[in-house]
Structure 1
């Protein structure tokens, strides 16, 4: 399930559980991603409207930030090393930019007792279809509220329930005109075994 949203500024939009949405965000506008009930991950992609081959890059962002834990004042870079988004406010402080969006393969390979689901990858692809974004072009998303601690000695990581509580949010400012795709994550491990909505608001 997905929605292509004609987002009205200053209006809170709802993404139902295990679904996604896509919308435009203009340079200078802010996007607030809200966890209304707590404990729910939202996968976020940003794509340059001027050339949709330019999109969010985990590798370049983490390289330039020199940390895997991104929060207020960090910038999210594109595959061309341009700033797409800046985090301007964050009430949680723990998000993930390492793990790829969950997909049909995730459910097939990682979950023995879960019914098949196209996951966030499928929801992102469906939401971005009006802009002609190919499925294989979808990169690692910025996983708002996802809690992936990494052991400093071994490098092993765990996917634990989000630290976000009801009403927590992360706010971004767009550095250029963007297409945004956003999901309410579908993976049980990422969300503590339950699925809840994600809210968002565009302002400016």
Structure 2
């Protein structure tokens, strides 16, 4: 496979791009303990998007890893996870937003957010913020306690940890280097993105 494109996503920023069916998307944590929020939409019709609910339902687990398929809101396969060196990710939490920083943390001033990163990155593809689904939060270490409370711990990813996904349809993809310090063991860091596949 050849490398088709690489993106270095600086801390608390995002990137949007197209991904063709059969291409591979590799999300890399270059420094360790950094979450990456991933959303995706059908390239042909962006009213089809990556669905947390469908993916969890069909996999019968909230902890998706190697071999699991990520489905759309129309129950179409969007990604297959083909390699995962960490094995612990989150598909429950919405992207952090200005409102979440205010409601959860009392932050009234400006704070970068994944919602803003994704909205800005996907705007050129005609995707507005109110259409953003729950992201697949790669490397996020969230666990559901017996009480039902969700506990966030530092990511298990080490420098160079990866998740590699195969696109099962043509997609528009957004990736944000998570902007919430508490999800990244206190420090927001960059994320690397690599697209690979056969070249003509």
**Does residue 69 in structure 1 map to residue 63 in structure 2?**
yes
2:171 maps to which of 178, 189, 193: 178
Query: Are the counterparts in 2 of residues 108 and 116 from structure 1 also a CA contact under 8 Å?
Result: no
Structure 2: distance between partners of 1:11 and 1:180: 13
**Does residue 105 in structure 1 map to residue 95 in structure 2?**
no
Match of 1:5 in 2: none
How far the C-alpha of 1:189 sits from its partner, in A, is 1.1
| Residues 149-177 of structure 1, C-alpha deviations (whole Å, 9 max, x = no match) | 111x2111111110000000000000010
| Residues 160-201 of structure 1, C-alpha deviations (whole Å, 9 max, x = no match) | 110000000000000010011001000111111101100010
Structure 2: distance between partners of 1:149 and 1:12: 31
How far the C-alpha of 1:110 sits from its partner, in A, is 1.5
Query: Are the counterparts in 2 of residues 69 and 94 from structure 1 also a CA contact under 8 Å?
Result: yes
How far the C-alpha of 1:135 sits from its partner, in A, is 1.3
- TM-score, length-scaled by structure 1: 0.92
Q: Which has the higher strand share?
A: 2
Name stretches of at least 5 consecutive residues in structure 1 with no aligned partner. Answer: 1-7
The runs of at least 4 consecutive aligned structure 1 residues that moved more than 4 Å come to: none
Query: Are the counterparts in 2 of residues 107 and 115 from structure 1 also a CA contact under 8 Å?
Result: no
**Does residue 189 in structure 1 map to residue 185 in structure 2?**
no
2:148 maps to which of 147, 155, 162: 155
Q: Relative to structure 1, is the Cα distance of residues 73 and 135 closer, same or farther in structure 2, using a 3 angstrom cutoff?
A: same
**What CA RMSD, in Å, does the superposition of the two structures yield over aligned residues?**
1.4
Query: Are the counterparts in 1 of residues 14 and 177 from structure 2 also a CA contact under 8 Å?
Result: yes
Q: Relative to structure 1, is the Cα distance of residues 187 and 114 closer, same or farther in structure 2, using a 3 angstrom cutoff?
A: farther
Match of 1:17 in 2: 11
Per mean C-alpha deviation after superposition, the further-off stretch among 9-18 and 57-66 is 9-18
Per mean C-alpha deviation after superposition, the further-off stretch among 132-141 and 105-114 is 105-114
Match of 1:86 in 2: 80
- TM-score, length-scaled by structure 2: 0.94
Q: Relative to structure 1, is the Cα distance of residues 12 and 131 closer, same or farther in structure 2, using a 3 angstrom cutoff?
A: closer
Equivalent residue of 2:88, what SS? Answer: coil
